Structure formats: structure tokens, C-alpha cells
Amino acid sequence: MNRETASARLVSRKHKEIYEWIRRQGTVSKIDLLEKSGMTGSTLTRTLEELTAAGLIREAGLGESTGGRRPILYQIEPDFAYVFGLDISRLASKLSLFDLQMTPLENHTWVMSENRTPDVLLAEIAEAAQGMLSRRRLDASQVLGLGIGAVGPLDRSTGTILDPHYFQAAGWHHVGVKRELENWLGFPVLLDNGANAALVGESWTDRGRDYRHLLYVHVGVGLRSAMMSSGKLVYGAVDMEGSIGQMIIQTDGPRLWNEGNYGSLEAYASIHALELQAKARLKQGRDSMLLRLEPEPENLQFSHLLQALRDNDPLTVELFTQAATYFGIGLANLLNILHPEKVILGGSLIGSHPGFFHTATRVAIQRTYYYPQYQVVFSQGSLSEEAVVTGAALMVIDDWTAG
């Protein structure tokens, strides 16, 4: 299916509105569409016939009768077009191909080693995308686009990754990923930060609950956050994905990488902060099974900490509990300012052990000013490591139906 043809078949507001209702509901009856859309019966019937003729939607049988004729059910046509989602992160990057029902069809993951410079990674991404299409006998004209959720800061308007921290490979500064990949692939590319993409993905999977004000926080190598208000992503004057990490928790505290704020949240609750704390405690003479996993403290890595945590090493449990407590304080600050209905927590630290999530959320609630009048739902989400690629792909579909 040609992209221009696909776009042309969703030009009218009525088409877009009905298509979006069906897409978000999965399966919806004509009766429900009549009630939700406010259209007359004849207008809705004509719109559904036009969408069906265009190959955008299909009849999906009959629903339950409520006393009269059984209503016709509709679904979107998943193979009308396809979309790619790409997650560019510090530890790993991932490309996935989806149909329009967001069924993942194929994926490829890259470890972000010191050899994965932008030129190397982007060429490999283009090759992987073309391989996925070739194996499924699809043409590039059948792809609506590629959505990217990347580590910020970035410039969405130009599709440029600006100056991210903590990449192992050199060269990740002012990388025009949109331009480069569009030249390689021949279809549109959209760029947003990974936290925004993850929140779009998680919001999609939870769309039946209709939360309007959502906060997403990713806790890993760094801290990344995103916010939705009234169902829309909140954008600032600059890309603000990593700003939560610079929240000051203790004015005379340390800072990471000799930059940023002293006593920032990232210096207490991040993978690198935990590694530094563990190294410092071992050098001070603390006993720990970490020394048996890695006799030289300077070589200690997060993987060692995770293994010791699983074995309930006292020092490691203490360090993770301390990090979770500090993170909970930062989270309480966000709750007291933003008052979201739901908070979704993701990332390596959140998923490292159930105790991290429970400690952090308990501390946050204890320091939330309007609690218990103000109630917030905490979740680890449902997409886990798939949140960014899923949300990135959804951004392309949202842009297509809104454009």
C-alpha cells in the first residue's frame, strides 16, 4: 500500500475520528460508534463504507443483541500498513516492526559497546529494517514511518540527538538521526525522547482506564521522565527528559561525572551512583560477597551488584534500600508539584528487585502533602523493556491519523 494513498484515504476529519475510535477500542460496534461520534446514522454508515472500501477497516462479525438486530462489529485492518519503532539507549538499542494493531512482527537488538558509534549503529539499523521488510516481502512504500525514542537531550523539530551523557562510543553529539535514516530508508522518521515514547506506549496499553494525568520515570544509568496532562504529552521550552536527575536532594552532596548539580537525585539513585557507593564502602573495609564476585573494587559493575542483591548480601541490600529511599524523596517532590493520577516506574533499578519499587513508593507516599485525600496509583507498567519501541511506533501512527 502506497504511503501517499494511505494518507489520502484519511483526509477527512470524520474518517480520522472513526478510524481512531476503532483503533483504540480494538473491536467496536456500529451502535457504539453512533453514540460516541454524534453522527447521523446515514453519515456514519457512509463513513464506515468508505473506510472499508479503502481497506482501512473490516467487519469483524456481529455483537450481542440488546433486543433488536445484532450490531455489526468493526476492527482496523492490521496489514493496511506497517510501522517501525526504535529505542536508542545507553546500554542497548532495539528496532521492532509492527502492524497497525501493534502486533510485534520482528525485532533486532544491539549492545551499545564502545564500537557502536552513530555511523555504525545507523547503518546497522537501516540494514536490519530493510532485512525485515525483505523477509516479509514488504516494500518501503507500505511503511508509514519509523519512530525513535532516544536518550536526550534532543531537538525534535530537526530530529537531532544533541548531547547525551554516558554513551560508551564516541561521536554521540549533534547526530541528525532523522535525516540520516530517512536517506537510508526512504520513509518518514520521527524523533522524541525515550521517556516520552515509553509513556505513549504504556498509556496505549492502559487506554481502557482513561487516566488523563500520567507521570513516567525511568531509573537506570540516568533518570528520565515524561508527563501527560489531559491525555497529551507535556513539552517544555527545551527537551526536559533528564531534568529530574538534577533535582537537588542534599545541597552539600556529591555530583556525578564532575558536572550537573551537587547533591542531585541522580547522584544518589542511579546505576552509576550505586556502583560508586559500593566501591567506596568496600575500600573503607566493609565486608561483602561483592569482593568474592570481583576482588578489585574498581572493576565492580552493576551486574555484580544485581547478583549480590539476589543473594541478599547485607551491604548490597543496604545500598539498594538507600538508593530507593532517596528516589522516593525525589518522587514525592514530583507528586507534590504535578499531582498525577498514575505514576509508571521503569528502568533497570526499578526492575532489579521488588524491594526497590516498594521502598520508593512507600517513601513517596509518606511525604506526599495531600495524602490520603490525594490518591495516586503506582505501577511498573506492562511493557517493561518494550515500552520505548512500542511508544515510538505509536507516535508514527498518531501522527498519521492526526495529520
The distance of Cα 349 from the centroid of its chain, to the nearest Å, equals 16
Read off the C-alpha cell for 282.
568496600
Per-residue pLDDT 10s for the chain (403 aa) are 444 444 445 667 888 888 988 998 889 888 888 888 878 888 888 988 889 998 999 988 877 766 667 878 999 999 999 999 999 998 899 999 999 999 999 999 999 999 999 999 999 999 999 999 999 999 999 999 999 999 988 999 999 999 888 899 999 999 999 999 999 999 999 999 999 999 999 999 887 777 889 999 999 888 999 999 988 899 888 777 778 899 999 988 998 878 889 999 999 999 999 999 999 999 999 999 999 999 999 999 999 999 999 999 999 999 999 999 999 999 999 999 999 999 999 988 998 888 999 999 999 999 999 888 888 999 998 998 899 999 999 999 999 888 5
Domain boundaries defined on the chain? 3-78, 81-201+386-402, 209-381
DSSP 248: B
* Domain 81-201+386-402 and domain 209-381 have a common topology: yes
Residues 6+ apart with CB under 8 A from 113: 168, 169
Give the whole-angstrom CA distance, residue 125 versus residue 140.
Answer: 14
Report which of 247, 251, 254 is spatially closest to residue 331, judged by C-alpha positions. Answer: 247
Topology, domain 209-381: Nucleotidyltransferase; domain 5 (3.30.420)
The pLDDT, as a whole number, for residue 291 is 93
**Phi, psi (rounded to 5 degrees) for 257:** 55, 20
Q: What is the CATH number of domain 3-78?
A: 1.10.10.10
CA-based angle 313:318:321, to the nearest 5? Answer: 120
The pLDDT, as a whole number, for residue 401 is 87
The pLDDT, as a whole number, for residue 170 is 93
The pLDDT, as a whole number, for residue 69 is 74
Amino acid occupying residue 157? S
In a 13 Å sphere around the CA of 117, the CA atoms on its Cβ side amount to 4
Give the whole-angstrom CA distance, residue 72 versus residue 63.
Answer: 6
The pLDDT, as a whole number, for residue 2 is 47
DSSP 384: G
CB atoms < 10 A from the CB of 403, how many? Answer: 9
Question: Is residue 153 reached through a cis peptide bond, with omega within 30 degrees of 0 on the bond before it?
Answer: yes
The pLDDT, as a whole number, for residue 403 is 59
Q: What is the CATH number of domain 81-201+386-402?
A: 3.30.420.40
Pseudo-torsion of CA 334, 338, 340, 344, nearest 10°?
Answer: -30
Give the whole-angstrom CA distance, residue 397 versus residue 370.
Answer: 38
**Phi, psi (rounded to 5 degrees) for 368:** -85, 120
* 42-79 CB burial, b ≥16 within 10 A, e <16: eebeebbebbeebebbeebeebeeeeeeebbbbbbbee
